[in-house]
Amino acid sequence: MELYTYYRSTSSYRVRIALALKGLDYRALPINLIAPGGGEQRQPAYLAVNPQGRVPALRTDAGDVLTQSPAIIEFLEERYPQVPLLASDLLTRARERAVAAVIGCDIHPLHNSGTTNLLRQWGHDDAQVLEWIGHWVSQGLAAVEQLIGDTGYCFGKAPGLADVYLIPQLYAAQRFKVSLEVYPRIRRVAALAEQHPAFIKAHPANQPDTPL
Amino acid sequence: MELYTYYRSTSSYRVRIALALKGLDYRALPINLIAPGGGEQRQPAYLAVNPQGRVPALRTDAGDVLTQSPAIIEFLEERYPQVPLLASDLLTRARERAVAAVIGCDIHPLHNSGTTNLLRQWGHDDAQVLEWIGHWVSQGLAAVEQLIGDTGYCFGKAPGLADVYLIPQLYAAQRFKVSLEVYPRIRRVAALAEQHPAFIKAHPANQPDTPL
């Protein structure tokens, strides 16, 4: 498989964690979203891969290109069911997917670069953009804190779909200076993931396109 | 089952379509998001159901409350596999979920009432808010137009997950005065859904809380 990825993109980071948890090898094809002269995601070469001009995109072993991290992760779960990311009972699966949706729908789209770029175009300065981001990240993480469990990862002893979404979101929270102090369950999960080889491998600090 | 719903909420509308396509009965429990004196979603009675204060929420026959429309719809698909919303082959499933994610992550969160309310609090007027909404809806629908097929519903003869997301998004597009003229495939799907009993049943015009 080949993954079009950007080291700091949280949705790329999700897919990298899913691949690493499942022990799947892939070739990283970095797309520099802030390349001098224009992000590579807007260049013809990448638009031919993904017309939406977003990362990640996954080329499967069969040569098909998949887009949108929620769809890619569900594909990996169905195609490579070993090391499952979802529980076997339907209720827990729904809870895991609810956490994924809080992060993937209610938090991340509001601080994605396209969104904050438009806010800047509309005259909002860095302080206001940080306030905007902080509003959505705090509100969303408060919901996640209530949804996840009291021990282990988000839903038990092994990491799963909710953790795949949460850990990249926490990386973004830190980058945007949102405090995690009032989320003890989330901080517990973060501490576990910090020691886990798959999360370490997928971390933005450890990618081929990570700046020196 | 019981569904906490608001007639005009596009994420509630998605779940209503999924329930109707599968022929599942449920009791509608309307939550008035714009009740005089404060939206019912922020009142203690509803926060006890869903602490996030968002609709929809589904109470299953077993009494469990599920939140977040993407998680609810996947639950319905797994619990009631008759009349499937997803294709059986993994590649088409990934394409259907990609369309769902474009709408559920890249469009809807940007025009959700929480988002536009914050823009208004920041001093943007109605015209600017409509411009903001139009930007995201147009950009997202252009991606959907490229992802869906050339005949029938989004992916073939029967409606499925992509249609469950697309039709409510088109309702919102119309409400916010975004033209669909440049999306012939999308208009084809819309015309089919207009005649389909499940989509008619789920439409915001036909709900118990629809204003007279």
Instruction: Assess contact for B71 and B11: CB atoms under 8 A.
Output: no
What residue ranges do the domains of chain B occupy?
Answer: 2-83, 90-199
Residue B37 has pLDDT above 90, yes or no: no
pLDDT, tens digit (0-9, with 9 covering 90-100), for A92-132? 999 999 999 999 999 999 999 999 999 999 999 999 999 99
What number of C-beta contacts closer than 8 Å exist between A and B?
115
Confidence at residue A55, expressed as pLDDT on a 0 to 100 scale:
98
The CATH architecture assigned to A2-83 reads 3-Layer(aba) Sandwich (3.40)
Contact B97 A68 (CB under 8 A): yes
Residues 73-102 of A with CB under 8 A from B: 74-75, 78-79, 90-91, 93-98, 100-102
Instruction: Report how far apart the first and last C-alpha atoms of chain B are (Å, whole number).
Output: 26
The residue written with tokens 């009791």 in the block is: B27
Q: Where are the alpha helices (DSSP H) in B122-160?
A: 126-147
Mutate: best of A74, A107, A132, A155, partner B, most B CBs <10 A? A74
Q: Alpha-carbon distance B96 to B161, whole Å? A: 6
The CATH architecture assigned to A90-199 reads Up-down Bundle (1.20)
pLDDT, tens digit (0-9, with 9 covering 90-100), for A65-76? 999 999 999 999
- Smallest CA-to-CA distance from B183 within B101, B90, B103, B87 is with B103
pLDDT, tens digit (0-9, with 9 covering 90-100), for A159-191? 999 999 999 999 999 999 999 999 999 999 999
pLDDT, tens digit (0-9, with 9 covering 90-100), for B42-57? 999 999 999 999 999 9
Mutate: best of B68, B93, B144, partner A, most A CBs <10 A? B68
Confidence at residue A38, expressed as pLDDT on a 0 to 100 scale:
87
Flag whether residue B105 sits within 8 Å of chain A, measured between CB atoms. yes
Flag whether residue B210 sits within 8 Å of chain A, measured between CB atoms. no
Residue B196 has pLDDT above 90, yes or no: yes
Confidence at residue A37, expressed as pLDDT on a 0 to 100 scale:
86
3-state class of B81 per DSSP?
coil
Tell me the pLDDT of chain A averaged across its residues: 97
Q: Alpha-carbon distance B21 to B130, whole Å? A: 32
β-sheet bridge partners, residue A67:
A57
